[in-house]
Structure 1
Amino acid sequence: MGTSRKALRTTAVGAVSATLIAGSALGLAPAAQASGAVRFVDIAGDGGTVLKANVATPQGADGTRRYPLVVLPTSWGLPQVEYLTQAQRLADSGYVVVAYNVRGFWQSGGEIEVAGPPDIADASKVIDWALANTPSDSRHIGMAGVSYGAGISLLAAAHDKRIKAVASLSGWSDLIGSIYSGRTQHLQAAALLDGAATLTGRESPEVRQVFNDFYASNLAKEQELIAWGKKRSPATYLDQLNRNGAAIMLANAWGDTIFPVNGYADFYEKLKVPKRVELRPGDHATAELPGLFGLPNDVWGDTQRWLDHYLKGVDNGIDREQPVQLKSRSTDGYEGYPDWKSVAATSRKIDLAGTTTIHANVDSGADGGVIFLSSILDQVARVPPIASIPLLPRRWAAVWQSQKSATAQRIRGTVRLHTTVTGTKESGTLVAYLYDVGPLGLGKLVSNAPYTWYGQTPGQPFGVDLELFSTAYDVPAGHRLALVVDTVDPLYIEHNPSGAQLTFSSPTDDPSYVSVPLREQ
């Protein structure tokens, strides 16, 4: 059943409240710490649209020398003071820094375009302004940003050859693949973005229509939606990024409920420029948040090291480190790998034998959690969403469990599900969950992902191949792995007609399984 408009609005209001609290804090705390070297300016963006910005320059800059330039577009829904602390730190170490409020938000003019062509053009206009009005060096230009600013930075680097280095923090590579993976609307993610835009900015008519069609599951507009998102996806411009040659650092969190890490991993592998990817516990932008308040922070520390090396030529060793840096959700410390395919040395295949039928339209109790809250708990206290696997109602949840493992299993990368489904209706949604199950039957969520289909013949089996969201999680010795599949999760819009049933089978010639990527012990 599609989710009602009233429910969508309720979800949006609840989700946005957290965003506004964070935005207010970010707007006040860094500002109180900033020194007097920051000045606030207006910059004419694309078409003359006024962009509110602030500029930080090195102490003692008198126009007799040039400094590397770093441009910071703001995050979705946050004001221009978001980066004041980090901007000042960069300026103190010898950069000119221009942070600007993207069009459509707060005091900047224009309408929200969701990283569309005007936003890309704005980034170049900001660079033009900085070169004309600050002691910036045109040969050493970088961009960085969190979330929305991360995506705009990557897109700008694909379109402006002057940009030599990028740090994309909690951004995206494939916009539609992020919030519409498995042809399933990520409801809470979209509601948060939409609500924040409504309360802190001005959506363009096109963007408003996109949200409306997205919520309404308007299949007649699906290809139009995909094309709209493709235009706003850095992955679309891989050839241009590789040709322009900017050094690209990507950072994200395993539990990012807005931009899951799967897209970054694939995008990283296809980049042919100096590159680095860092993945840590947390949710969307939570890994970067302490650094915005001036606290010690790995993400911002590595961002400055990246910019120092590729804009200032500092020999700090970052180019000689393993470029894939992962931090498990279960342990402290980082693991380095030469590339993404080396993250998982082997895999464990768990057979999903037998035939199981479940009824749709009811939440079984297996869920991916609540946007932000669940992944933050996992980040801070290592408490992911939990379900009692023995107590899950088999009427609404299909459950398969592995044997106990004699040794610890270090899951690294992307879990893959292959199964055969027979539905009683032509459309439907399933959500798959992988759990770490302890001796008492309590399952800790390792990963999940949704999958939606349309136009299937009722009673006719069809194959499903689904990638769960990539992760790094250590399963203790003596524990089992459990795969659970149900049809309802508050994170997503589900498309099961009333009374639908789903049967999972494992034909002899096409057995069902879940493949779990493992690091060597």
Structure 2
Amino acid sequence: MPTSRSPRPGTRGWRAPASVLCGALLALTATPAVAAPQPPPAPAPAPDAPRSEPVFAADPVRETVWVDTGLDGDADGATYRVAVDIARPRTDGPVPVIMDASPYYSCCGRGNENELKTYDDEGRPVGFPLFYDNYFVPRGYATVLVDLAGTNRSQGCVDVGGPSDVGSAKAVVDWLNGRAKGYDAATGGAEVGAGWSTGAVGMIGKSYDGTIANGVAATGVAGLRTIVPIGAISSWYDYYRSDGVSFGADPRGLAETVEEGGRPECAPVKQRLDEGAPANGDVTDLWAERDHAADAANVRASVFAVHGRNDLNVKMIQFGQWWDALAANDVPRKVWLSQTGHVDPFDFRRAEWVDTLHRWFDHELLGMDNGIDAEPAASVERAPDEWSDEASWSGESAAPTTLHPVPGDTDGLGGLTSEPAPADARAAFTDDPAQDEYDWAREPDQASPARALFTTAPLEQDLRLAGTGSISVTATPATPTAHLSAVLVDYGPATTRDALGEGEGIRTLDSESCWGESREDDDACYRDTEATTADVDYQVLSRGWADLANHGSLSEESPLTPGTPYEMTFRLATTDHVIPAGHRLGLVVGGTDSAFIQAPAEPGRVEVGLAGTSVSLPVVGGAAAVRDAGLDRAPTGTAAVRPDRLPAEPRVLLNRDGA
């Protein structure tokens, strides 16, 4: 992984150390906030649409229950309990539950302001992070915040997306439905039931929290009616690895962070994490066990997914493979895709988010016929704060369409077209582990020994890519080890969210807006945000990486013989991007993308056989759209990039310690 380095004035931004926590990025230093008692107006619902109203007392019941998970992760012969902090209306009738299961309630905080749970002198919960309890409890919902096993006040051990993590949250859903036991103490104590619960549960959360929601849904547990995963992982392998290469981080670091350095009894669990996550990037049983997309056939809950198209922490492949699996199993689903990085919709589209989430939970948990299921299922941010809605996400109907790199007049520079290259066409690069995709992309009209670059002719019509692509290569290494990277680039001027900047597309303001009922030590007011923008002349749309030694299998490397050609197909991250008419689409092929992956043991020269190399793109409209854009003709010339309009390097690429 790269280390911090100073920006080059006028070109690139600051790159943060990789140790910054995912989902717990430090908020900007706060100045005294100015309270605004009323939030901005939300979109008006249909006049006759039912809606839950804030009719319950502002002072809810607050309590902690310890739920027996039935698990014994530390093998001490005793099942462990997890702490469940509850805020619920003072009412005799049963209520549905909004649940956020997280490992971050004491170590790192939640939300843009890094809120932690707080307790009074007797250990009773007082401060609940985020606005869910303030807003939804008065409207007849219980808010349930679960300390994942091994974190905060829960017993057990963290296993980073494994049976302990997922099982501890699932046990709480079971308890809310009368299928598990709860107690009023961490050990011993009296049994406590959840008679106040209807059993209808909606799980929500960003990053690790949303990942747990995905995992619990993939168990098919009864009573879980809906999940709202935000910037969430669907496969832990693809968080730490990619087609045989490593991003340089391992699950142990995350486990140690959220356990806050303690729990020596959990050492065997960490040892199993080390053994099951080999540095060579191979897929193992540990990774297969943490692939929630593979279990999507079990999902009974509806899914409202949110993801940043420029999220370089929990990358878009996580959304894409999860969505594809849900679609294949006809799971009811809705999606928002923003231009931000790893950012919660509360901080990039706040009024619309609160309103939409409110109506979603009313429909899914209270059974209100409010029409939200008939509204557009997909909303995509096309420009800063400009959203496009569609009945269903076009990534489901986009057709895989093949383009081919072809040689040009200058070695290392070529074209990208629907016609394949001649049989003897070649390109080559020498792996330079000091360079990354931004070095490769920034001068498309200049040859570089570190990459091969291919561009289309200027598009005659807009071309939309939506979905998950792939690249197939024929590569001949000059050394026994070789890593490959492929990058898609939109060359042309645009104003976009500054997702690679410090706030990943947002700026935190001094003013506040309030969302729900405030109480002492738990107010409902949060600092407002606004979009940050950048004028650029190119954008990276998608990227993928692979270890050529895994050309035959992702679970086992094969030795490479220098001078021997190998064929390999690997994935490109999910995207949804419109390339405007007049822009060019570029494909970069290189070795070590130092912004993301680790270098091979012996980086060297790699020759690419162009006749055996192609890229499969998810084109909305398929081959006809490619023809209309003029990509069935050979390109001429290359794109130019003004040096004063370059995208900044990302502030956070991968956070070593977590999701």
State the TM-score, normalized to the length of structure 2: 0.63
The Cα shift of 1:503 comes to 0.6
Deviation per residue, 1:13-65 (Å, 9 max, x gap): 6423983625999xx99xxx9x653625242342554534432223xx232x1
Q: Which runs of 5+ in 1 are unaligned?
A: 369-384
1:463 aligns with 2:567: yes
Asked whether the 8 Å contact 1:363–1:486 carries over to 2, the reply is no
1:419 CA displacement: 2.5
Letter of the aligned partner of 1:270 in structure 2? A
- For each residue in 1:335-379, what CA deviation from the matched residue of structure 2 results, as whole angstroms up to 9, or x when unmatched? 3143555453684734344311111133345249xxxxxxxxxxx
Per-residue deviation, 1:5? 12
Correspondence for 1:417: 471
Deviation at 1:252, TM superposition (A): 1.8
The answer on whether the counterparts of 1:279 and 1:326 sit within 8 Å (CA) in structure 2 is yes
**CA separation of 1:273 and 1:409: change in aligned 2, threshold 3 A:** closer
- Residues 114 and 365 from structure 1, CA distance in 2 versus in 1: closer, same or farther, beyond 3 angstroms? closer
1:504 aligns with 2:608: yes
CA distance in 2, matches of 1:17, 1:312: 33
* Structure 1 match to 2:526: none
Match of 1:233 in 2: 291
> What amino acid maps onto 2:88 in structure 1?
T
Larger helix percent: 1
Name the counterpart of 1:357. 428
Question: Which position in structure 2 is the counterpart of 1:168?
Answer: 229
Give the unaligned 5+ runs of structure 2: 6-14, 39-57, 71-78, 110-115, 118-126, 178-191, 408-424, 495-535, 550-558, 629-659
1:287 is matched with 344
Confirm or deny that 1:205 pairs with 2:234. no
Q: 1:110 aligns with which of 153, 156, 178?
A: 156
Q: Which runs of structure 2 are paired with 1:181-330 in the superposition (5 Å)?
A: 181-187=242-248, 193=254, 196-197=257-258, 199=260, 204-205=266-267, 208-209=270-271, 212=274, 217-218=279-280, 222-223=282-283, 226-241=284-299, 245-260=300-315, 261-284=319-342, 286-288=343-345, 290=347, 296-328=350-382
Give the match for residue 153 of structure 1: 213
Q: Could you give the per-residue CA deviations for residues 424-472 of structure 1, whole angstroms, max 9, x where no partner exists?
A: 1233111111112238995321221111121233212122323211112
Contact 1:437 1:482 in 2 (8 A): yes
Aligned to 1:484: 588
**Inter-CA distance 109–238: structure 2 relative to 1 (3 Å threshold):** same
Offset of 1:516 from its aligned partner? Answer: 5.7
| More off after superposition, 38-47 vs 436-445 | 436-445
- Give the drift of 1:403: 1.0
Tell me the CA shift for residue 423 of structure 1. 0.8
Contact (CA 8 Å) 2:395, 2:466: kept in 1 or not? no
1:212 to partner: Cα distance: 4.4
**Which residue among 543, 548, 552 is the counterpart of 1:448?**
543
Pairwise CA distance, 1:478: 1.9
Amino acid at match of 2:594: P
Query: Letter of the aligned partner of 1:147 in structure 2?
Result: S
TM-score (norm 1): 0.78
Which letter maps to 2:137?
A
Question: Which amino acid counterpart does residue 420 of structure 1 have in structure 2?
Answer: T
Q: Is 1:54–2:85 an aligned residue pair?
A: yes
Q: Distance in 2 between matches of 1:72 and 1:96?
A: 11
Residue of structure 2 aligned with 1:515, choices 593, 613, 617: 617
Q: Give the share of equivalent positions with the same residue, in percent.
A: 20
- Please say if residues 488 and 494 of structure 1, whose CA atoms lie closer than 8 Å, have aligned partners that are also in contact: yes
SS class of match (2:365):
helix
Provide the C-alpha distance between the structure 2 equivalents of 1:207 and 1:24, rounded to a whole number of angstroms. 37
In 2, Cα distance between equivalents of 1:367 and 1:192: 28
Assess if the C-alpha contact under 8 Å between 1:189 and 1:258 holds in 2. Answer: no
| Displacement after TM superposition at 1:395 (Å) | 0.9
Offset of residue 98 of structure 1: 1.0
In 2, distance between residues paired with 1:103 and 1:491?
33
